[in-house]
Amino acid sequence: MAEFRYIALTSSGQTVEGTKSGDSEQEIIEYLKSTNLNPVLVEEKLSFNINKALNVEIGGISLNEKVIFTKQLSTMIGAGIPIVQALDILVQQTEKQSIKDKFVRVYKSVEAGMSLSEAFRKETGLLNEIQINLMSAGEKSGNLTEMMQKISEDLAKSKNLRGKITGALIYPAIIFVVMGGVLFVMITFMVPQVKELYSSLGQDELPFITQMLVNIGENLGKVETILILATLAVTGFLGYRYYYSTPGGRIRIDSIKLRIPIFGNLTRKVEVAEFCRIMSMLLASGIPVIEAMEITGRAMQNGVFQNIILKAKDEITVGNSMSISIAKYNTKNGFPPILLRMLATAEESGKVGFVLDDLSAFYQEEVDQIAGNLSKLVEPIILVIVGIMVGFLAVAIYLPIYQVGQIVGQ
């Protein structure tokens, strides 16, 4: 049994908060519905929420918090609560002050007569351009509740995928941290003792590998070495950031990322799945193809895919089809040929949105499989690196000891 916190609405629109023990969130939701309460939020009470620790974004609001507030807003609007009142409830139940301030500004904008989508567009950091455009389309078509549900589901998918990838990378990260610690201990404590043993026997010249580790250990302890390394690290980071901020630099670096074993294939499939998912959502909501391509292109995380889509958008503007336009600027590590063929067939049959939705599900499943097996795929690489490091350290430490044994024998 776990303890769950819930927020629910009565039939008159009043907010009810409380806690209840149960085996799952679904059990609590069913309990609330059985008592004529409309659940807005049900979450397990934890002393430490790992999702918040792993999903914090630069804007200060985590992906998990976005999932929660969009789900709450969708539920309240679907229950017939006026948007202004729903936003007021969000403000009251939000604990994090920085997010609360954003909701207050959104609330005041809507209260002053601004549409919900424009209010969110004005307040950066809460939702991205895709989600705001979906919200705007929902307002225009009268399906705001449905669009809010789509936004919430979309955010939940992104959160689950990020959680899988992050979870899979924890294991190799721990291995490399431990390796670094072992290497530091060896260089700092064990190798100098071997040098002292060698010197006590009248031998000043260590084997090359051992001497190299001794030099590294001695230099790492010097202040000037630390300052030089820190300067190089900061300069390298700033140089990378500057080069990546240029259009050509971003495309070159992202192209290299797509060629990295295992991770390059994962990145490619993630980008393809994102393209299909975002385009299918935007087209289904009634947004024109050219505008949808523009929004989708800017949403791509990889510069190679962004460049292909935005250039293809310009081709569509002059009358070319989507499949031909993408194929014209496609690269070896870009869109798979099968996707372009299926897209061409879909354009002929007039079912582009339907086919993109199917392709999105297909590539999302492939991404889930790769992410789920990521630790197994990375394990051979880790074993090779660990093996090389262990062999190097063994030679560096035991070679002089072996030579000392020969000296003593003489």
pLDDT per 10-residue tile (average), the chain, 410 residues? 74 75 76 80 56 43 83 86 88 84 89 88 82 84 83 82 75 83 79 73 73 79 85 94 87 91 87 89 86 87 91 91 92 89 90 90 86 77 85 80 66
What is the separation of C-alpha 383 from the centre of its chain, rounded to a whole number of angstroms? 26
How many other C-beta atoms can be found within 10 angstroms of the C-beta atom of residue 390? 12
Q: CA angle, 121 as apex, 117 and 123 as ends, to 5°?
A: 120
pTM of the shown model: 0.68
Q: Distance (Å, rounded) from C-alpha 27 to C-alpha 254?
A: 45
Q: Which helix (H) or strand (E) holds 408?
A: helix 374-409
Helix/strand/coil (H/E/C) assignment for every residue in 353-376: HHHHHHHHHHHHHHHHHHHHCHHH
Domain ranges of the chain: 2-159, 263-372
Q: Which residues contact 352 (CB under 8 A, 6 or more apart)?
A: 283, 289, 322, 343, 346
> If you count DSSP H runs as helices and E runs as strands, how many of each does the chain have, helices first?
19, 3
Domain 263-372 has CATH 1.20.81.30: yes
pLDDT at 410: 57
3-state secondary structure of 12: coil
CATH of domain 2-159: 1.20.81.30
| Fold match, 2-159 / 263-372 | yes
> Which residues does 277 contact at the CB level (< 8 Å), separation at least 6?
154, 157, 356, 357, 360, 364
pLDDT attached to residue 50: 41
Alpha-carbon dihedral sign for residues 131, 132, 134, 135: positive
- The sign of the torsion formed by the CA atoms of 36, 6, 62, 361 equals negative
Return d(Cα 27, Cα 9) in angstroms, integer.
17
Residue 132 CB contacts under 8 Å (≥ 6 apart), including other chains: 117, 120, 121
**Alpha-carbon span 276 to 269, nearest angstrom:** 11
6 by Cβ neighbours in 10 Å (0-12 / 13-18 / 19+) ranks as buried
Which of 141, 146, 161 is closest to 73 using CA atoms? 146
CA distance 387 to 298: 43
137-143 contacts, C-beta under 8 A, 24 or more apart: 137/282, 137/285, 137/286, 137/287, 138/285, 139/115, 140/286, 141/285, 141/286
| Contacts of residue 217, Cβ cutoff 8 Å, sequence gap at least 6 | 187, 188, 191, 192
d(CA 187, CA 195): 11
Pair 127, 135: CB distance under 8 Å: yes
The per-residue pLDDT for 236 is 94
pLDDT at 345: 92
Q: What is the pLDDT of residue 252?
A: 92
Count the Cβ atoms, other than its own, within 10 Å of residue 193: 10
Q: Could you tell me which of 266, 272, 271, 267 has the C-alpha nearest to residue 377?
A: 266
CA–CA separation, 96 vs 77, rounded Å? 23
At 406 the pLDDT is: 67
Whether 352 contacts 373, CB under 8 Å: no
